[in-house]
Amino acid sequence: NAGVTQTPKFQVLKTGQSMTLQCAQDMNHNSMYWYRQDPGMGLRLIYYSASEGTTDKGEVPNGYNVSRLNKREFSLRLESAAPSQTSVYFCALGRTDTQYFGPGTRLTVL
Q: Which of 14, 28, 40, 62 binds other proteins (CB under 8 A)?
A: 40
Contact 35, 51 (CB under 8 A): no
User: Would you say 77 or 95 has its CB closer to other proteins?
Assistant: 95
- Closest of 79, 84, 102 to residue 22, by C-alpha: 102
For residue 12, give Cα distances in angstroms to 85, 86, 96: 11, 9, 33
Establish if 47 lies at the interface with other proteins (CB under 8 A): no
Site string for other proteins, 71-100 (x = CB under 8 A): -------------------x-x---xxxxx
Q: Which listed range, 11-19, 21-29, 41-49, 77-85, lies at the site for other proteins (CB under 8 A)?
A: 41-49
**Interface contacts to other proteins, rule CB under 8 A:** 1, 4, 31, 33, 40-45, 48, 50, 56, 58, 90, 92, 96-104
